[in-house]
Structure 1
Amino acid sequence: MANLHVTRPRPDVVLITLDRPDKLNALSYGLVEDLHRTLDDVKADNECRVVVLTGAGRGFCSGLDLTEPFPEEAKDGLEFPRSSMRWQERIAELTTKLAHLRQPVIAAVNGPAYGGGFALALASDIRIASADARFCTQFIKLGLGGCDIGVSYTLPRIVGAGQAFDLILTARTVDAPEALGLGLVSRISDGAVLDDALAIAETLCGFGRFGVESTKQVLWANLEASSLEAALQVENRSQILASTSGELREAAAAFANRKKG
């Protein structure tokens, strides 16, 4: 695809690289559509167990391509404002696709993640940053509302409501150390952030297939849990289903063999 580079560092890991480095991987119509198609393909790929998302060049994603904020291709023959709403919804749907993938998504943030790029990172399951990563909501700086592409949902759940209000209303830039302190990312890479992301992917691939998929589903589902009891109900059912896969017996047998050795 012209705007994406998709590779397999190992048979069960798909690496998606946003590939518009001259534009800091800004979200054009072509990139949005290529990413939709790729995520659809990945969701149906039974061999893929983990997805790694990163950007080409010196940035992760700088957000919407402002040279053409309302591309002609996105209008689909509709008049304003229906055409603009259709395009807005199409971009925003990328976040639900990331969250609803069966496979965990690791965002390897290798530079600026602004606006829509920040939203893509927030919708990922694990975020790790390079030392020069930067994060900014940016939307309110563009004469728009500060809440867009899911950030009003994802950001408060990651860093808490108080910090999220600050970051969204002021649209200030957060560097990698502050992002780590806020809990926005789980680690900062000492070297190549992509290498660290692939190492995490390898770890996840060493666990049971059903166990990893169900863990992601339960974590997202329980963000909406109304009580501890409701969360436990989801967990309990997931654990019993996981126990029928045969992976528990394999793990128990391997553990017994290690004790004998």
Structure 2
Amino acid sequence: MTDYSTIDVVHEGAVDWLTLNRPDRLNALDATMVGELWDYFGGLQSDYARRIVVMRGAGKAFCAGLDLVWFKSSQAGMPKGATDRGPGPSLADIVLKMRSCPQAIISLVRGAACGGGFNLVLASDIRIAGRSARMNAAFVKLGLSGCELGTSYFLPRMVGTSVAADLMMTGRFIHADRALATGLISEVVDDDELEGAARSLIVDLLATSPVGLRKTKETMGLAACIGDLAGVIALEDHTQMACMQASSFAQTVAEFGETRIERG
């Protein structure tokens, strides 16, 4: 799939700018958008030419979560209590593909990021928020568990169990300042400065080696699942050897040393 109707992808060298593009519905998720996101992130899995993805929402919101109008119409005529996820991809599939793709994913959060939209933010590697950002795990407000689409995996690791329980058990919104204080996001800027903040970050990300950037994301994900320090160090040692073998490590070290000497 190359022609998308609910997302917009702009290629800029090694960077993709991915925009959720249903602003009239606050970029809410329907079957078409889920399918297009699944197709897009699936296509990144072995594409090492693209190194960074910047994800954002068109208009005044990042993503309002599930499009309830679409969901209600899709369930019309089904037996009471039945839920049809259909034969196509699910949002859970997208979250898994975001974590397994080799690209660094930056989310720029402006306005609402609710429910499944919040999960897209959580599945990103780096999160920058505009001052209007408001995020919540909305599932518990719909009569469901607050644990959905990896929320119970991501949130406790990012903000600690107490804050995670607060957000997941109540469905309350977390705004930009508190999100920064808890470590959920890395930076808060004015809404109109989000793209500039991303471009500044991109400069530093592209200054790293391609294999080093990929392996950092991969190793961080694996390390989160290892329960002891010795196992993590062994994983890191293995990764460093792979990086040394895949790149001109000695030349890079020499150039780094020369740069330090020149700068005094």
TM-score of the alignment, normalized to the shorter chain, above 0.5: yes
Partner of 1:117: 117
Is 1:154 aligned with 2:154? Answer: yes
- d(CA) in 2 for partners of 1:156 and 1:171? 15
Partner of 1:12: 14
- d(CA) in 1 for partners of 2:178 and 2:260? 43
Given the two structures, how large is their TM-score scaled by the length of structure 2?
Answer: 0.90
Task: Select between 250-259 and 109-118 the one with higher mean Cα deviation.
Answer: 250-259
Does the Cα contact within 8 Å between 1:70 and 1:87 map onto a contact in 2? no
- d(CA) in 2 for partners of 1:20 and 1:100? 26
Q: CA deviation at 1:45?
A: 2.3
Going from structure 1 to structure 2, the CA distance change for 1:247 and 1:201 (only over 3 Å counts) comes to farther
Matches within 5 A, 1:64-75: 64-69=66-71, 72=74
From 36, 39, 55, the equivalent of 1:37 is 39
Structure 2 unpaired stretches of 5+? none
SS in 1 for 2:121: helix
Does the Cα contact within 8 Å between 1:119 and 1:149 map onto a contact in 2? yes
Q: CA deviation at 1:183?
A: 0.9
SS in 2 for 1:225: coil
Q: CA deviation at 1:257?
A: 3.4
Does the Cα contact within 8 Å between 1:14 and 1:52 map onto a contact in 2? yes
Percent identity over the alignment is 33
Partner of 2:208: 207
Does the Cα contact within 8 Å between 1:53 and 1:105 map onto a contact in 2? yes
C-alpha root-mean-square deviation of aligned residues, in Å? 2.3
Partner of 1:27: 29
Going from structure 1 to structure 2, the CA distance change for 1:42 and 1:88 (only over 3 Å counts) comes to closer
Is 1:173 aligned with 2:173? Answer: yes
Q: Which amino acid aligns with 1:6?
A: V
Q: CA deviation at 1:68?
A: 2.1
Does the Cα contact within 8 Å between 2:35 and 2:89 map onto a contact in 1? no
Partner of 2:247: 246
Partner of 2:194: 193
